[in-house]
Copies of this chain bind each other. A is one copy, B any other.
Amino acid sequence: MVNNVKTVLVTGATGFIGNHVVEQLLATHDVRVITTARTKPTGAPWLSNVTFIPFDISTDFSEKDLFTYFERPDAVIHLAWQGLPDYKSLAHLDTYWLQHYRFLTNLLTNGLTDLTVTGTCLEYGLQSGCLTEDLPTQPTTAYGLAKDTLRKTLDLFVADRNILFKWVRLFYMFGKGQNPRSLLAQVEAAALRNEPVFNMSKGEQLRDYLPVTSVANNLVRIALQKQITGIINCASGQPIAVRTLVERFMQEHQYALTLNLGYYPYPDYEPLAFWGHPAKLQSLTNP
């Protein structure tokens, strides 16, 4: 069931996922994008096709009606977040989460009825295996706890209101525009520098990866429907060993690096094997 959504406000539009979300939305929708001094949009092919509205979430907007300021969008896809990839900084909790809570509740108080926000698999914390949306969360990072608290607080906020609230938990992704510090970007950079060896972890950890274009497509489909709300894992449900992921990537691009497995330890804030249960997402695909 498709919502009667015509205009969508996208935050974080110039980020890794946001770029692809805007591109896909533009085929059918009127898109508004937030700009700040920090995120001047450059290079995106959709620059001339969206409406830019300046806004900075770190300013005091408590007296403003942001919903009217953003020209009453039918739906909001909220991707923006600060301070990544430093998952451990307490700024996620003592600074950012309240900014996002106030931003989103300002929109909802003033009339927004359809909100999609990205969460993270770090909300699950160190739980292993196939993770379903109804598992109690146990985040161990400041970022995971901030997102988890934001979701729980918004849940309390929307409880007695007529609001479509979708919380999309992102797992891992790769693709065009990815952070240069991410794994496959580093493999690519090493290959292009003709380095013989690539240092990495043992690579046996099992992760849930999706191409960023699929992530963006899932987000757009979730945002534009009104049947499925609450927490939705944006996951493949198909765990892959990180070593296999890297080898497959090298094969596709015919990179001839030798992998130096076990050079780095595993990060302490992730379990060795976890992936998302994608049933809720897939029920969208096949109605």
Interface residues of A in 61-100 (CB under 8 A from B): 88, 90, 93-94, 98
- What residues on B are CB-neighbors of A101 within 8 Å? 93-94
How would residues 101 to 139 of chain A score, 1 for a CB under 8 Å from any chain B CB and 0 otherwise?
Answer: 110010000000000000000000000000000001111
- Given contacts A94-B98, A102-B94, A157-B90, whether A145 and B149 have CB atoms under 8 Å apart is yes
Complex CA distance for A157 and B92, rounded to whole angstroms: 12
Please determine whether A153 and B145 come into contact, CB atoms closer than 8 angstroms. Answer: yes
**Distance of A82 from chain B, by nearest CB (Å):** 16
Instruction: Select A136's contact among B93, B105, B136, beta carbons within 8 Å.
Output: B136
**Distance of A140 from chain B, by nearest CB (Å):** 8
A145 closest partner in B (C-beta): B152
- Given contacts A98-B94, A102-B94, whether A145 and B136 have CB atoms under 8 Å apart is no
How would residues 222 to 237 of chain A score, 1 for a CB under 8 Å from any chain B CB and 0 otherwise?
Answer: 0000000000000000
Q: Does chain B have a CB within 8 A of A37?
A: no
**Distance of A97 from chain B, by nearest CB (Å):** 9
Complex CA distance for A138 and B151, rounded to whole angstroms: 13
- What residues on B are CB-neighbors of A90 within 8 Å? 153, 156-157
Q: Does chain B have a CB within 8 A of A142?
A: yes
Complex CA distance for A138 and B105, rounded to whole angstroms: 22
A152 closest partner in B (C-beta): B145
Complex CA distance for A189 and B27, rounded to whole angstroms: 68
**Distance of A63 from chain B, by nearest CB (Å):** 16
Complex CA distance for A152 and B145, rounded to whole angstroms: 8
- What residues on B are CB-neighbors of A94 within 8 Å? 98, 101-102, 105, 153
Complex CA distance for A105 and B141, rounded to whole angstroms: 17
- What residues on B are CB-neighbors of A153 within 8 Å? 90, 93-94, 142, 145
Nearest 7 A-B pairs (CB), nearest first?
Answer: A136-B136, A149-B149, A93-B153, A136-B138, A145-B152, A142-B156, A94-B101
Beyond A93-B149, A94-B102, A139-B152, 14 additional contacts (C-beta under 8 Å) are: A90-B153, A90-B156, A93-B153, A93-B156, A94-B101, A94-B105, A98-B98, A136-B136, A136-B138, A141-B156, A145-B149, A145-B152, A145-B153, A145-B156
